[in-house]
A and B are shown apart, each in its own frame.
Chain A
């Protein structure tokens, strides 16, 4: 989008609020929703990829060496990865201001 959301006036909107710029949802920072953040303990990780499969937001990246990284721009902090991790390598902690 050309302007940030809070600068868009009613005149800037397309007729019927049609979105004609494909893929623009990628700029929506869903990480802002988070109240808990995942903390990753690489020592306990067995590179099984379970967290990657379960993440509903494609917010986990598998690195070249097989370990993982959370993409905190999109991670909503749902905690599914921590719940599903078989070795307890991911834990959720309170997000601090």
Chain B
């Protein structure tokens, strides 16, 4: 049934959005997300995809259109990067509070300044607390698959929360990979039509986005936090059923060679693919090293992460963003918090790497592991910076 075709990852992502049978796409083209929305606009123009493509004048408008279209019950997609996300961030927070499901592919790119169009994770970390389900993918197949998984989870009556797929800009968006595409019948079986709980409709009038006075606002935020924490089983169920259909199973954290590993490298996104090559080389040299990839970022998989790093003495955490004046990168901060309650927890050393498209090679991982072993204590460092 399934066929493997070589194609650019952005095109594969757009083809998945087509197969997911979206109703509305609102997006403003921004590098390196451009090829995804360009291809979607072609599909709509050619009549291959029966959807509204709204070519807005900015990302602020893109997210505004998306909030309206999701509110009337339409399956909604958007895509952005970097400054575009920053510009739409006001409404990004609103749609999750309003529990409007939609899918966003975020082609990760650094934020100004200096001006950079290349990859790091500073854009998504700027909206870490926006209340969307957020995950990272490693390769083109994973982004293709997660378009279906994302819509399915977001639109689940028990979830009703928007969903972000983080896809490393250029490193993934602009490479050609073999993609196993799904038969449309399989997609239709996995992804039922969206059935909203509430929607804007003249026959059943409701008000959305009303004000919350001080006496109610705290209760509203508690409800949102509880709702987010309860999404985990539905995300896992979405992955399980997708795996049963396709043979490709996904997990909140992915492990590689972690059994009996004393040292564990922790990554997010496409760095995991490079790191796994480095891990294999180090294993050949009898270094007891393993790899944990954090796929799910929100809700954070505390239990699964603890289980994955059990028995390790040293964690070498890779961040692709800086929290200026803070305790290191955002991922390392999260990991220290996750382990803090343990009486004896592994030492956490944090490297900030690959900023603004700086290349990270397998050798770099070996060097970072050696540096972390050699120097005691918990610290963070911007790796490879010229003194």
**Do these two chains really belong together in a complex?**
yes
Cross-chain contact of A10 among B210, B215, B223 (Cβ < 8 A): B223
Nearest Cβ in chain B — how far from A67, in angstroms?
Answer: 35
A18 to B215, CA, bound (A): 17
Are B97 and A16 interface neighbours, CB within 8 A?
yes
Mask, A1-34, CB within 8 Å of B = 1, is: 0000110111111111111101000000000000
Nearest Cβ in chain A — how far from B140, in angstroms?
Answer: 34
Cross-chain contact of B223 among A5, A11, A19, A20 (Cβ < 8 A): A11
Are A22 and B205 interface neighbours, CB within 8 A?
yes
A12 to B207, CA, bound (A): 16
Interface of B is mostly: loop
Are A5 and B215 interface neighbours, CB within 8 A?
yes
Q: A14-B198, A15-B160, A15-B197 are in contact. Are A20 and B220 (CB under 8 A)?
A: no
Are A16 and B98 interface neighbours, CB within 8 A?
yes
Mask, B196-219, CB within 8 Å of A = 1, is: 011000000111101011011001
Nearest Cβ in chain B — how far from A71, in angstroms?
Answer: 21
**Chain B interface bracket (under 10, 10 to 19, 20 to 34, 35 or more):** 20 to 34
**Interfacial chain A residues near B220, Cβ < 8 Å:** 10, 13, 17
Whether, in the assembled complex, B121 has its beta carbon less than 8 Å from a beta carbon of chain A, the answer is no
**Interfacial chain A residues near B226, Cβ < 8 Å:** 10
A10 to B100, CA, bound (A): 19
**Interfacial chain A residues near B212, Cβ < 8 Å:** 17
**Interfacial chain A residues near B97, Cβ < 8 Å:** 16-17
Q: A17-B97, A19-B206, A19-B210 are in contact. Are A10 and B219 (CB under 8 A)?
A: yes
A90 to B222, CA, bound (A): 46
Nearest Cβ in chain A — how far from B132, in angstroms?
Answer: 14
Are A8 and B219 interface neighbours, CB within 8 A?
yes
Mask, B90-101, CB within 8 Å of A = 1, is: 000000011110
**Interfacial chain B residues near A22, Cβ < 8 Å:** 205, 207
Mask, B312-328, CB within 8 Å of A = 1, is: 00000000000000000
Q: A5-B213, A10-B219, A10-B222 are in contact. Are A17 and B206 (CB under 8 A)?
A: no
Cross-chain contact of A16 among B198, B205, B219, B222 (Cβ < 8 A): B198
**Interfacial chain B residues near A10, Cβ < 8 Å:** 219-220, 222-223, 226
A22 to B226, CA, bound (A): 27
Residue of A nearest to B217 (CB): A17
Residue of A nearest to B209 (CB): A17
Are B223 and A18 interface neighbours, CB within 8 A?
no
A57 to B98, CA, bound (A): 28
**Interfacial chain A residues near B207, Cβ < 8 Å:** 18-19, 22
**Interfacial chain A residues near B227, Cβ < 8 Å:** 15
Nearest Cβ in chain A — how far from B66, in angstroms?
Answer: 15
Interface residues of B (CB under 8 A from A): 97-100, 160, 197-198, 205-208, 210, 212-213, 215-216, 219-220, 222-223, 226-227
5 A-B pairs within 8 Å (CB atoms) are namely A10-B223, A11-B223, A15-B198, A18-B206, A20-B206
